[in-house]
Structure 1
Amino acid sequence: MPDNAARRFRFGVLAPLRTDLPAWREQVRRIADTGFSTLLMPDVQQWQPAPAPTLAVAATLTDLRVGTWVYASPLRTSRNLAWEAHSLSVLTEGRFEMGIGTGRPGIEDELRTLGLPVATPGRRLAQVRETITSLRELDGPELHTPVVMAVRGPKAQALAAESADTVTFASTPGDSRADIIGLAAGFRANHDLELAQHVAVVGDEVSPFMAPPDTDPAALRAADSLLVLPSDPKAATEEILRRREEGGFSYVVVGSNAAGTLAPVVAELAGS
C-alpha cells in the first residue's frame, strides 16, 4: 500500500471576500503570518467577486499559494475554465492550485437560475476530465498546475487517480469517521496522492462557506464526523494526527472564521 501517512502537513483557509477590501487584505496577511500554506476561494456567484481576479489580488499580498475550493465544472465551458486556471498559474508564478468538482448539492437549481444546461452527473464528470485535459495542453511541458479533485463515487475516484494531484472526499453530515476512512483506505490501496480534509466546523463554529447554515455541530460530533474538529488546540492536534495515521489525510482545509482558533495547531504541525 502507498504510504500517504508519511506526507507532511499543510493547511488551507477558505477566505471569500465578504468585508470591505482593506479588511479582507488584512485578513489575508494574518492568515499568511499564521503559517497556513494556501488561500482558497469558493465558486458561488452569490457570495463574492469571481474567484480568479480575487485570487490574483490575494497572490500579490503574500507568498501564499492560492486555489479554488472548488470550481464547479458545469458553470463554464471546459476550455474557458482551463484557460482561467492556466492564466492564474502564470500570473502567480506557479502558486495556483485548481480545485474542481462536479458541483455542490443544489447545483442544478443554480444552473437553471443562470440559464445554463442542467447536465447529468456523468456529463459533469466528463466536463472535469475535459477541463483537466485542456489545462495540461495549455500548461505544456514547462508548467504543471496542481489539480485538487473533490470526489465520491468510483468513476470520480478513477478520474482523480488518473489526473489529480490531491483528492478530497465529498462528505455529508451523515457520514461517520468509518465511512470516510473507508473511502480513503480503498483509494490509498492503489494510489499515492495527497489526501485533503474539508473541515466545516471547529468547536461549535460553522464556517459559513463550507457547510449549510443549519449544520448542527453536536450532531456531527455524535456521528463521529470528520467534518468537525475540536476547538481546543491540543485536542485538535491529536485528532489531526489521528486522521493522518488512520486515513492518510495531510492537507487540512478550514474556514476563515476558524483560522485564529487553529493557529497554534498550524504552528505545531505545518511541515511536520
Structure 2
Amino acid sequence: MSFTTDSTIYTFEGKLLKLSHESTETKTKMEVNVYLPKQYDSASSKSIPVLLYLSGLTCTPNNASEKAFWQPQADKYGFAVVFPDTSPRGAGIEGEDDSWDFGSGAGFYVDATTEKFKTNYRMYSYVHGELQTKLAEQFDKLDFDTISITGHSMGGYGALSGFLQNPSKYKSVSAFAPISNPSKCQWGEKNFGGYLGDDKSQWAKYDPTDLIKAYEGPSPEILIHVGKADPFYYRDHQLLPENLVEASKGTPFEGKVSVNYEEGFDHSYYFISSFTAQHAAHHAKYLGLSN
C-alpha cells in the first residue's frame, strides 16, 4: 500500500486518518490527513466527492484538522477532506529551516526550478498529481474526478493557482485570506525568487492575478473571505485580493470573484472556522451534493 495509517481518530460522525508515505515527487516522507465522513463506510466505489484543503505558512496537516471544523460540514454534505502538508520535511537542504516563511513549512505549492530546491520542493506536482493518484488507488470509495479545492493564506493562493492552472479538474474553488497576487508582495517575492529564480515570467505561471487573465474553462463563482482586522491584509499588504478582482475584469470570472471583507476578524483559525460553513455550502453545490 502507498500509505501507512499512523492513527485513526473518531471525530464528529466520521474518522480522521493520519497517513504517511514516501513521495516520489519530493523524495521525502510526507504526511497527510484525510477525513472520511459518516457516509464513507456504507458508500459504493467512487461515490464520495473530495475537498482538498491547502494550509498556510508554518502549518502541518494537523492545524486545519484540529481547528477549521470541516468535519461536521463533511458529514452534513457527504464529502471527504484531504489535508496535505505544506512542504517537504527533512530534505537536508542547507538553510531550509532558517526562516518561518521560506523552506520547511513554506513550499508555496510550486515546482522549484532553482538548483538548490528543484529536487525536493515539487509541491505543485505533489498536491495536484501524485497525492491524489495514490489516494485514489488506496481509497476506492473516494471520487477524485469530483473534487474541489480551498485553502488559507499561502494555501488560499495555492488553491486559486491550482484551480486556474487546471481548467475542468476542480469543480469549484474558495479561499480564506489568500495571497492573491504573490508577485507583488514580500512573501511571494521571497518564495518565488527562492524557488523559481529571478525570471518573473516563471512567477506569472503560478500567480492567480496573472493566471485569471488567460484562463479558459468553466468559471464557477470564486468565494473569498478576508478579515478586515488581519494585519497581513491592512498593514503588511501581503494578500491584495483587490488585485485579483481587478484582473478578473474582461475574463469569464468578471463579477464572479466574491470577496467578503469581515469586520473585526484576523488571520487565525478563529476566522477560518467562523466561515467554514459558508465555504462548505459553496463547494457542496458544485460537487453535486446540494442545490
In which range does the TM-score fall when normalised by the shorter chain? 0.3 to 0.5
TM-score computed with the length of structure 2 as normaliser: 0.36
More helix by share: 1
More strand by share: 2
Return the structure number with greater relative CO, CA threshold 8 A, min gap 6: 1
